[in-house]
Each structure stands twice: as structure tokens, then as C-alpha cells.
A and B are shown apart, each in its own frame.
Chain A
Amino acid sequence: MAAADELAFHEFEEATNLLAQTPDAATTRSDQLTPQGHVAVVMDSGGSYGAEDEVESDKAALLQEEKQQPGFWTFGYYQSFFDVDTSQVLDRIKGSLLPRPGHNFVRHHLRNRPDLYGPFWICATLAFVLAITGNLTLVLAQRRDPSIHYSPQFHKVTVAGITIYCYAWLVPLALWGFLRWRRGVRERVGPYTFLETVCVYGYSLFVFIPTVVLWLIPVPWLQWLFGALALALSAAGLVFTLWPVVREDTRLAATVLLSTVVLLHALLAMGCKFYFFQPLPLEHVAPPHQATSQPPNTLPPTLPRSMAT
């Protein structure tokens, strides 16, 4: 009976620690504890411990099952990615807005619980805000130059959506693939999972939302200032997150990776600025517009023509 009690106790240990420990480790740990403690626990539970050990082993098995996620065809699998509260999402957004050198976004804010809510809705918001503010600059341009024809430019929503979503999902995929490929070089720090990479990129795009709204102010140097500031914050967040994973690698690979990440981010910011926000026409250009024929007036959104005029 004493052997059965010891077995029952070591299963209880496993259940509480949520780890699949080897029986040897459990027995050595239990040997290190005072026998008095053992005896006390066993005595307290009394006769019902025989029934409880089945419950504990069931609980251990259940907890281990919970750690293995349900299959990807079940709804519960996707529900595990949305297991966040409002306060957690706000905290993650704040963490992405204020990157600090020591703070790793993934370890400090995500804490191994990446979510898909943030990346998805931040990308959706950014796409719509880009299209809407881009359209608003056309309104401002029309007020300055009445010959410009205003149109809702609804196709820009599609373009914005596709660009932002492709960036926020394909670039993390490439990054994750690259980090896993280089995993052999680096033994100590494991790479991030795909979802964590997507989370980092998604939350880092948040700073562009107020920036895009501020780009409505028609002062060019201010627009460039805001753009640079947003890019600096966003890229800093990415670099500080990737640095612990990448510094184990060779110096060349590390610099190439980090500079590629920053470069892609800068390309996205500049591409959005140029495509969605046309430079405002100057006042003295108005007379030539009235003199020239129809096509240049009805096609203001295409970049080369408006830059040429």
C-alpha cells in the first residue's frame, strides 16, 4: 500500500506542475522532501486518495491534452488565437508604440500568448484609414484648385487592403522561415513561432494609423517629420524584438536581416505616402489646367501625370 501511495503522490506532483516529468525525476524530488510532509499529505487525504489518484491522473492527462491544441479543422483551434481581453490588447498596443531597448515585445507583452485579433483589425483599420485620408487629401486639393475633379476613388480601398494584408502576413512568413532555417547556427535562443512574428508585425503597424491621419496636414516637411518618426518607432520595435534572436548568428546574417526588415518597413511607409497622398497642386498651376484638354483633369490620382503637371 505504501508503494501505491507513493505512486499516487508522484502523479499528483505531475498534475500540479503541468509537465511530463520522468518518473525518476519525480521520485528523486519526492525523496528530497521531508518524509513527514509526505506522510502528512497521505494521511490527510485518507481513504479517498485511492479514488483521487484517478482524478489526478485524469486531470494530468486532460491538462496535457489541453496543451496539445485541437485540430485545425475545429472552431476551438481558432478560438485559442482570440483569447485576449480588452486590457491586454491595449497593453500590447502601448508596448508597440513605445519600444524600449531592453524590452522584447514578444517576451514582455505577448508572453507566449499571441493573438490574431490585434494584427487583423489593425491591418483592416490601417487599410481603410489610408484610403479615406487619401481621398480627403483630394478634397483639400479640390478646394485649392477647383478644376480637379473629385471622385470617391473607391478602388484605393482594395489596393490598400491587399497591400497591408500582404505585408503584414507574407513578410512575417518569410522572416519566420528564414529564422527557422538559421536555427541550426543558433542553439540557445529558439526562434519565435509564426504567430508571434505576425503579432509583432501587426502591432508595429499600429503607429502608422495616427500618422496617416496626421498626414492630412498639408505641410510637406511636417508630413516627412511624422513619417520619419513613425518609421523610427515602428522599426525600433521590430529591431528590439528581433535582436535577441539574431545576435547569436553571424554578424553578417544579423545585419543583413535587420537592415532588410527596416528597409521593407521604410518601403511600405514611403509607398503608402506616395500612392495615397498626392502632393497638393500649387496655386499658379490653375490656368494651364483650364487651358489643357480633358484627360489630365479627369485622371488626377495616377501618380506620373500629377507629378508631371
Chain B
Amino acid sequence: MAEAAESPGDPGTATPRPLFAGLSDISISQDIPVEGEITIPMRSRVREFDSSTLNESVQNTIMRDLKAVGKKFMHVLYPRKSNTLLRDWDLWGPLILCVTLALMLQRGSVDSEKDGGPQFAEVFVIVWFGAVTITLNSKLLGGNISFFQSLCVLGYCILPLTVAMLVCRLVLLAELGPINFMVRLFVVIVMFAWSIVASTAFLADSQPPNRKALAVYPVFLFYFVISWMILTFTPQ
């Protein structure tokens, strides 16, 4: 049976018999069941997995997604060259971060609306349209990162700036003054640098080497504008 086992890939080179005639000689039915699902074991496991998520409790679903988001937060806070953010992208984290940031940046409507800081919608638009523009820019320059992967990375790297916003709001509870401003400035600068480093660690590799600076500069501008919005936040 050895020659028949070697020939299945190449039945044409067999002696002048009709094509595929040798296949009937191979007894695959005893080894692998031909009927039913001819799937590789991995895929069948995934299919089981999909169908069973309908039956699991809501808590399991939520905790699974929250754990995935939390894991990515850790990857952003300690940026190493890993592929987790890129491979299993999701947009839950960016949404949570953007909504948190926009809610915290919103100010009461005591002042006239013209003069105030950014409204919720303005922050939302800046974050999402800024991320989309940067992604389009990086793809147009010839980067080989997918659209949603890039959105995911840019959104997750807002995490340090959201932490800075939290710290700034806490610091603003104390009395205002130059020291207060210096502390806030220092925190925002450190978090801005952290965001840039984190996002560059993920995004820079996807660009052609002679265009890296062209792709990283818009990211710098994006986080600079967000840092500016955080720094100029004044509660009234």
C-alpha cells in the first residue's frame, strides 16, 4: 500500500489508468471518517465555542470581554513589543476611554457656551475622527496595518491621558495656584510622553522604514491636542 499512499497527491503520474482511479484503493474510510464534518479539530472546537456562548450566563460574557479589555490596558501601561493589541483588536476599550474622557472634560454650562471648553460631542468627534484620519494617513503612506487594528491601538493608548485627566481633576480640588498648575503640567507631560511611546511601539513597525516619521507625526499631534484639552480644563 505504500505506493498507493504516496500516489494520492499525484494520481496523474500513475500508469495510464483513468484519473483518480487509484483513490479507491486507499482505505481512508477506516482512518478518517469521510462523512460528517470534515473539519480540522481546531475549527470544530471554535464552532462549539461559538454556539455555547449563547447559553452562557451574561456575567461570563461580560467578564470575558472585560478581561480582554483589561489585558490590553496592561499592555498599554507596560508597552512591550507584543502583538496582543494588534491580533485581537476590539473597540470596547477605546469607547470606554473616550466616553470617560469626554464626560470628565465636560464642564457645566455656567459660562456662555461659546467660551467654554470642549463639549462632549467635540471631544468625541476629535478622538474618533482624529483616530480615523491618522489611520487613513498611515494606510495611504503604505503601512500594512488594518483599519480597525490601528483604531484599536490609538484608542487604547489614550489610557495614560485618561489617567492624567483623573489626576488633574483630583489636583484641582485643592486650591488653585502656580504649584497646582505645575503639578498638572508635569502629570500631563509625563502621560503624553507615555501615550506616544506606547502607540509608537505598536504602530511604527507597520510602516515602511523611510516613512516612519511621516506616520508618527500625526499621532504626536493627536495626543498633543488631547493633552492640551486636559491641561486647559478649568472647573467652574
**Contacts known (A151-B115, A152-B118); A86 close to B221, Cβ less than 8 A:** no
**Contacts known (A89-B214, A132-B228, A154-B122); A125 close to B221, Cβ less than 8 A:** yes
The 3 closest A-B CB pairs, nearest first, are A82-B140, A152-B117, A151-B115
Number of interface residues, chain B, beta carbon within 8 A:
29
- Counting residue pairs across A and B whose Cβ atoms lie within 8 Å, the total is 66
**Contacts known (A78-B140, A79-B140, A84-B214); A150 close to B221, Cβ less than 8 A:** no
**Contacts known (A78-B140, A79-B142); A85 close to B211, Cβ less than 8 A:** yes
Q: Are B115 and A124 in touch, CB under 8 angstroms?
A: no
29 example contacts (A-B, Cβ-Cβ < 8 A) are as follows A75-B139, A79-B140, A82-B137, A84-B211, A85-B210, A85-B214, A87-B210, A117-B137, A117-B140, A117-B141, A117-B214, A121-B137, A121-B218, A121-B221, A124-B218, A125-B221, A128-B224, A128-B225, A132-B228, A151-B115, A151-B117, A152-B117, A152-B229, A154-B116, A154-B119, A154-B122, A298-B112, A299-B112, A299-B115
Return chain B residues, CB-CB under 8 Å to A117: 137, 140-141, 214
Q: How far is the CA of A75 from the CA of B136 in the complex (A)?
A: 10
A67 at the interface (CB under 8 A from B): no
Instruction: Write the residues of chain A forming the contact surface with B, with a CB cutoff of 8 angstroms.
Output: 75, 78-79, 81-87, 89, 117, 121, 124-125, 128, 132, 135, 150-155, 298-299, 301
Q: How far is the CA of A86 from the CA of B116 in the complex (A)?
A: 38
Instruction: Write the residues of chain B forming the contact surface with A, with a CB cutoff of 8 angstroms.
Output: 111-112, 114-119, 122, 137, 139-142, 210-214, 217-218, 221, 224-225, 228-229, 232-234
Q: Are A298 and B115 in touch, CB under 8 angstroms?
A: yes
Closest to B233 in A: A152
Q: How far is the CA of A125 from the CA of B225 in the complex (A)?
A: 10
Return chain A residues, CB-CB under 8 Å to B218: 121, 124
Q: How far is the CA of A125 from the CA of B222 in the complex (A)?
A: 10
What is the interface of chain A mostly: helix, strand, loop, or mixed? helix
Return chain A residues, CB-CB under 8 Å to B228: 132
Q: Are A152 and B234 in touch, CB under 8 angstroms?
A: yes
Q: How far is the CA of A128 from the CA of B211 in the complex (A)?
A: 23
Min CB–CB distance A215 → chain B (angstroms): 17
Return chain B residues, CB-CB under 8 Å to A299: 112, 115
Min CB–CB distance B219 → chain A (angstroms): 11
Q: Are B115 and A301 in touch, CB under 8 angstroms?
A: yes
Q: Are B115 and A121 in touch, CB under 8 angstroms?
A: no
Closest to B224 in A: A128
Return chain A residues, CB-CB under 8 Å to B234: 150-152
Return chain B residues, CB-CB under 8 Å to A128: 221, 224-225
